[in-house]
Amino acid sequence: MTTPRLAVLGSINVDHIMNISQFPKPGETIIGHQYKIAFGGKGANQAVACGRSGADITFIACVGDDAIGSEIISQLKTDNIHIDAISIIPQTPTGVAMILVNEQGENVISIVAGANGALTPTHFQQYHHVVEHADALLMQLESPLETVFEAAKRAKSHQTKVILNPAPAQPLSDEFLSFIDVITPNETEAEILTGVSVHDEAGAAKAAEILHRKGIKQVLITLGSRGVWFSEQGKGMIIPGFRVDAVDTIAAGDTFNGAFVTAILEGKPSVEAIRFAHAAAAIAVTRHGAQSSVPWRHEIESFLAERA
């Protein structure tokens, strides 16, 4: 039996991370406790989570023709990721994210696209075959929206399952959403997509129903420490996560998405796949950084075994 193939299309950034006591108010200067540079980008974070979870993954992305871009490609290769579809864009810097993390582990992030902006529909044409031959395609919204839309249409026309993590939050057309099989918004993203405030299970159920009516089969609304509202065929439930002492939530959502898709491709039932993803995310929030916090498969399995 062949191993299911996964394509991830998304962003690559270099993260500049500062740990502070509290977020500054406008005009205020805060003295930080720690500063470091790490590799990130929602696409790369999710690709790493897939690779370390055991997926057969090809990553479609762009970096700049700078030293940090070359370092990132080398690192991704060690994370069990096929890098043939990662392009180096001449005379362009690698994408950058500036991240502040407070003492509660919460974060605020600003991004400059850099080479990520070169992942246009025209550029993507040379990698159509990656999506067409994949069993699933995982995407986010840090790449040009028209490319994400084109990739979703291409995948759908070749029976490739499309999973969208709709972050950063922004409105999406009904036409776009009709090409999505599985969507994984957080509370804020779900509200932007549906107009429904998601503060409790009733709100999550209502938002999920609206997304179902747009043609999406499975809806996973991540609710932070409360877990995930999982809805399929109009029936929803809360699937709780694991209680841990969080120190940094930067890559929690990305880790969840990568581990979830990997588990689904392995044939795990949806609820079991969500529990696997919860475990991966729980481990990630106990560690600092983005990709540096993403666990390997054996760590996830050990975590689950301890809580069986």
Tell me if 162 sits within 8 A of 186, measured CB to CB: no
Read out DSSP for 68-80?
Answer: HHHHHHHHHHHTT
Residue 165 annotated in ligand binding: no
* Rg for the chain, CA atoms, rounded: 18
Residue 308 annotated in ligand binding: no
- Of the residues 56, 79, 181, 254, which is catalytic? 254
Q: Residue with structure tokens 């291409």? A: 154
Token duo for residue 215: 């043609």
Residue 41 annotated in ligand binding: yes
Residue 253 annotated in ligand binding: yes
Residue 154 annotated in ligand binding: no
Residue 45 annotated in ligand binding: yes
Q: List the one residue out of 15, 4, 17 whose CA is nearest residue 75.
A: 15
Residue 278 annotated in ligand binding: yes
Residues 51, 156: Cα–Cα separation, whole Å: 23
Residue 80 annotated in ligand binding: no
* 3-class SS of residue 210: helix
Residue 254 annotated in ligand binding: yes
Q: Residue with structure tokens 């159509």? A: 128
Residues 89, 170: Cα–Cα separation, whole Å: 26
Residues 246, 283: Cα–Cα separation, whole Å: 9
Residue 43 annotated in ligand binding: yes
Token duo for residue 212: 């179902």
CA 234 vs CA 207, 218, 261: distances in Å:
11, 9, 21
Residue 186 annotated in ligand binding: yes
Residues 233, 212: Cα–Cα separation, whole Å: 8
Residue 15 annotated in ligand binding: yes
254 in catalytic set: yes
Residues 137, 152: Cα–Cα separation, whole Å: 8
Tell me if 220 sits within 8 A of 182, measured CB to CB: yes
Residue 102 annotated in ligand binding: no
Residue 293 annotated in ligand binding: yes
Residue 107 annotated in ligand binding: no
SS (H, E, C) 18-44: EECCCCCCCCCCCCCCEEEEEEECHHH
Residue 5 annotated in ligand binding: no
| Binding-site residue ranges for substrate | 13-15, 41-45, 142, 254
| Binding-site residue ranges for K(+) | 248, 250, 284, 287, 289, 293
| Binding-site residue ranges for ATP | 186, 222-227, 253-254, 278
Catalytic (active-site) positions: 254
| Binding-site residue ranges | 13-15, 41-45, 142, 186, 222-227, 248, 250, 253-254, 278, 284, 287, 289, 293
